């Protein structure tokens, strides 16, 4: 598992309220929006901040999702280049002391993801996303 974070995902209880704050309030520009579901904002070279409906996020993580968190849940994502690397990286993390929350599974958007928790309970997603790439200048392109 390379030393890298590609996404910071915030599980928000009210996506419209999150949009009012980040997009209308702070004036930040989305890289991609899927209405009622998710908003992606680029916040560093190669890094997206994702505002995601909290219930959808909890459902995606599954039974291992932290319950009762005050405020939003947060995950950090580590993207890999191929589908096969998703389980490999999950195994590597577990060997290092992580707890597997959800094994590698295909997603409806054509990718493959799994989740683990670090020793403090921080949730990481390991993902292969064929519709994501980072340009040489650091700009992230997401979506087909």
Q: What residue ranges bind a copy of itself (CB under 8 A)? A: 1, 3-6, 8, 10-14, 17-18, 20-22, 24-26, 28-29, 41-47, 49, 54, 66-72, 74, 76, 92-93, 95-98, 117-123, 138
CB of 8 to a copy of itself, least distance (A): 6
DSSP label at 139? Answer: -
For CA atoms 111, 115, 118, 124, give the dihedral sign: positive
Minimum CB separation of residue 26 from a copy of itself in Å reads: 5
Q: Which is nearer to a copy of itself, 108 or 119 (CB)?
A: 119
3-state secondary structure of 10: strand
Tell me how far, at minimum, the Cβ of 89 lies from a copy of itself, in Å.
10
Secondary structure (DSSP) of 52-94 = EEHHHHHHHHGGGSPPS-SS-EEEEEEE-SSTTHHHHHHHHHH
Pairwise CA distance, residues 76 & 127, whole Å: 11
Q: In this complex, which beta carbon is closest to a copy of itself, that of residue 81 or of residue 120?
A: 120
Minimum distance of a copy of itself from residue 84's CB (angstroms): 19
Nearest CB to a copy of itself, comparing residues 101 and 104: 101
The H or E element containing residue 18 is helix 15-19
């Amino acid at each position: 598992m390379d030393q890298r974070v590609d996404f910071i995902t915030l599980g928000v209880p009210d996506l419209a309220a999150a949009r009012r704050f980040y997009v209308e309030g702070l004036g930040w520009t989305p890289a991609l929006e899927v209405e009622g579901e998710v908003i992606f904002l680029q916040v560093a070279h190669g890094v997206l901040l994702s505002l995601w409906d909290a219930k959808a996020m909890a459902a995606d993580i599954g039974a291992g999702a932290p319950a009762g968190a005050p405020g939003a849940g947060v995950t950090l994502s580590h993207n890999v280049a191929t589908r096969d690397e998703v389980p490999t990286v999950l195994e590597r993390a577990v060997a290092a002391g992580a707890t597997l929350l959800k094994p590698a599974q295909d997603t409806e958007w054509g990718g493959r993801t799994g989740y683990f928790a670090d020793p403090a309970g921080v949730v990481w997603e390991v993902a292969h996303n064929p519709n994501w790439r980072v340009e040489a200048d650091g700009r992230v392109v997401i979506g087909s």
